[in-house]
């Protein structure tokens, strides 16, 4: 395993990952999303 880059938590990809994760958490908790996801799972498995 290679050592972590010194700017691993400050780089462009790290910032993008934080934004993505924040939006993912917000969507995961959204009631509309939960309902639609449940419908999709029931329909497509």
Q: Which residues lie closer than 8 Å to 8 by C-beta, 6 or more apart?
A: 14
Note the pLDDT of residue 7: 79
Under 8 Å between Cβ of 33 and 27: yes
pLDDT in tens, 1-45: 888 888 788 888 899 999 999 999 999 999 999 999 999 999 998
Q: What is the pTM of this model?
A: 0.62
């Amino acid at each position: 395993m290679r050592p972590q880059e010194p700017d691993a938590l400050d780089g462009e990809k790290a910032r993008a990952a934080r934004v993505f994760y924040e939006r993912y958490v917000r969507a995961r908790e959204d009631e509309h999303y939960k309902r639609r996801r449940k419908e999709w799972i029931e329909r497509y498995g």
